Structure 1
Amino acid sequence: MNEEITITGSIVLFDENLTDLHKAIECFLNIPFKKKLYLIDNTPSRFFEYVFVDKQIEYIAIEENIGFGSAHNKILNKLKNTSNFHLVLNPDVSFKPSIISPLIKELEKDRNIAMVAPKVLFPDGRHQYSCRRYPSVSELLARRFTFLKPMFKSIILKGEYRERDLNSPFFAEYITGCFQLYKTENLLQLKGFDERYFLYMEDVDICKKIDEIGKKKLYYPKEEIVHVLKQGSSKDIKLFFRHTSSAFKYFLKWGL
């Protein structure tokens, strides 16, 4: 199995913690398959050009911040006839390389599964609710404004599938974009992420697109990863407006 499978991965870089990034890259390079990692640098200064050098890494300089989805899409043409599986990976994620094999097995079990993702934990071991129902306007507002949370608590809990056994696999409506493992053919069929989103909501949007092609997304909590989760939009006013803009575009596209 190891000799037959090629897995590619992509990480978009901008303002990254180098310690976290090193862990993410090391985890990918230790995956026990033939592999290639694309580092897509959105910094105008090409900051990351010589920070990580390895024969299994291809560095791509964009020289401007074009956003998350657009940057990941830059390598789609490189995946044709090259990759069986592709991992969209955040720079602040770490995982045991051994989790990849069971995730691939789940993808191979069902031709209708386009993407799989594991359970996500915070560094302190707390659960991150990474599989969600598609968001409503009220849920997104409550998540951004703390004073609204008590009024919309039931909506938030429902959105996070709190009524389900989150230790058992199931097909979720959407899975957050910090770690998404695709069958490459399906990612190419989707044409990657919608580039109208600069940052935020592109992971929700691509899950909607998976629905449109009649495929599914599997939440597979028998394997797990660690995600630092910066939550930039709750701390930075510019990112807050980016998030708001993306939400507006999402509901214009898909409806309320």
Structure 2
Amino acid sequence: MNTSGVPGPKPYDLSVSVVVYRPNAAQLAQTLESLTVAYDALRSAQPTLRAGFYLVDNGDLPDVEGALDDLRARGVICTVIAGQGNVGYGCGHNLAIERVASRYHLVLNPDIDLDREALVRACEFFDAHPDAGLLTPWIGDELGHQQFLCRRYPTVLDLFARGFLPSSARRLFSRRLARYEMRDLINDRDIVWNPPIVSGCFMLFRTDTLQKLGGFDPRYFLYFEDYDLSLRAHDVARVVYVPAVRVLHHGGGAARKGTAHIRMFAGSAYKFYSRFGWKWL
């Protein structure tokens, strides 16, 4: 269903938004399948749960009606938001965020596979910790190795070394990159409160926290919108890393996506540092 205009807020317990632009059809279908399985587990734990799903089409959405029908068959209200053109990642999610009045809202990438128990564990944690406003999970790669996507405030050198140096040269910066990636604290066992920055590939918010923040800053087209939102989230709630919540991430870095992405990365980095302060070394 295409949506024009902004309908009234939907009173969901959980809402989810995914923004796509020329997505890999097979990967998107896999993400939606994993979301369906995770929702089944959550619905088993909370039979009266109401859920809404927003798929924001920034361009060239493949046919995913079969996957959406699987969600609809479970009572999930699915909405496709289209016709706005490629407005960028954060602005795309904002189109969904402004439509919901849910208890929790999940910002999700189209290259994430959720563990079956991911939503159950996340909602259990929020129910037990009312001071938590933003939750980030354990994130693994395609081989199941942990990705360290919680971050301390980055220096320009950290970003350059991590994103653009070949692996042989990156080893020269291993100690400082380990600190940037919080490898001294982040593991597969321990809850960590208030990591400064968390990844936008899976950000589960209390919706009132997210709406207090006004969603994503629309000045970022792509890259650093999650850094910006993470830092602002600390002003209104606690941020928490919960390794019992597990997902796999199939994404890649900007340097591997070509020169256009490198330019967008650099432009967004400039906006980020101009707002929060430059830190070179």
The sequence identity of aligned pairs, in percent, is 27
- Select 2:78's aligned residue among 53, 57, 61: 57
Query: Partner of 1:210 in structure 2?
Result: 233
Query: Partner of 1:107 in structure 2?
Result: 126
* Kept after mapping to 1: 8 A contact 2:117/2:245: no
* Separation of aligned partners in 2, 1:109 and 1:212: 21
Query: Partner of 1:194 in structure 2?
Result: 217
1:221 aligns to 2:243 (yes or no): yes
Query: Partner of 2:98 in structure 1?
Result: 77
Per the TM alignment, residue 131 of structure 1 is displaced from its structure 2 partner at its CA by: 1.2
Per-residue CA distance 1:134-160 (angstroms, 9 max, x = gap): 211111111233166344322211011
| Superposition CA RMSD, Å | 2.0
Query: Partner of 2:32 in structure 1?
Result: 25
Query: Partner of 1:141 in structure 2?
Result: 160
* Separation of aligned partners in 2, 1:68 and 1:48: 20
Q: Normalising by the residue count of structure 2, what TM-score does the alignment of the two structures yield?
A: 0.82
Cα 1:225–1:146, aligned 2, differ >3 Å: closer, same or farther? same
| Of 224-233 and 67-76, the range deviating more from structure 2 | 224-233
* Kept after mapping to 1: 8 A contact 2:25/2:62: no
- Select 1:249's aligned residue among 252, 256, 271: 271
* Kept after mapping to 2: 8 A contact 1:69/1:194: yes
Task: Extract structure 1 runs of 4+ deviating beyond 6 A.
Answer: none
* Separation of aligned partners in 2, 1:144 and 1:165: 20
Structure 1's unaligned 5+ residue stretches are none
- Select 2:252's aligned residue among 210, 227, 230: 230
Q: Normalising by the residue count of structure 1, what TM-score does the alignment of the two structures yield?
A: 0.90
Cα 1:111–1:22, aligned 2, differ >3 Å: closer, same or farther? same
Per the TM alignment, residue 62 of structure 1 is displaced from its structure 2 partner at its CA by: 3.4
| Of 55-64 and 241-250, the range deviating more from structure 2 | 55-64
Instruction: Specify the SS of the correspondent of 1:97.
Output: coil
* Kept after mapping to 2: 8 A contact 1:40/1:62: no
* Separation of aligned partners in 2, 1:84 and 1:119: 22
* Separation of aligned partners in 2, 1:67 and 1:59: 16
Per the TM alignment, residue 75 of structure 1 is displaced from its structure 2 partner at its CA by: 1.5
Cα 1:253–1:165, aligned 2, differ >3 Å: closer, same or farther? closer
* Separation of aligned partners in 2, 1:124 and 1:105: 27
Query: Partner of 1:95 in structure 2?
Result: 114
Per the TM alignment, residue 52 of structure 1 is displaced from its structure 2 partner at its CA by: 4.9
* Kept after mapping to 1: 8 A contact 2:164/2:255: no
Per the TM alignment, residue 36 of structure 1 is displaced from its structure 2 partner at its CA by: 1.3
> What residue identity is the alignment partner of 1:62?
G
Per-residue CA distance 1:13-53 (angstroms, 9 max, x = gap): 1121111111211222331242111000001x565585754
Instruction: Specify the SS of the correspondent of 2:143.
Output: coil
Per the TM alignment, residue 246 of structure 1 is displaced from its structure 2 partner at its CA by: 0.5
* Separation of aligned partners in 2, 1:135 and 1:48: 39
* Greater fraction of residues in strand: 1
Query: Partner of 2:144 in structure 1?
Result: 125
Instruction: Specify the SS of the correspondent of 1:152.
Output: helix
1:66 aligns to 2:87 (yes or no): yes
**How many matched pairs?**
249
Per the TM alignment, residue 248 of structure 1 is displaced from its structure 2 partner at its CA by: 0.4
- Select 1:13's aligned residue among 20, 25, 28: 20
Structure 2's unaligned 5+ residue stretches are 1-10, 44-48
* Separation of aligned partners in 2, 1:191 and 1:165: 29
- Select 2:54's aligned residue among 38, 44, 49: 38
* Kept after mapping to 1: 8 A contact 2:12/2:52: no
Q: How does 1:147-158 map to 2 (within 5 A)?
A: 149-158=170-179
* Kept after mapping to 2: 8 A contact 1:49/1:59: no
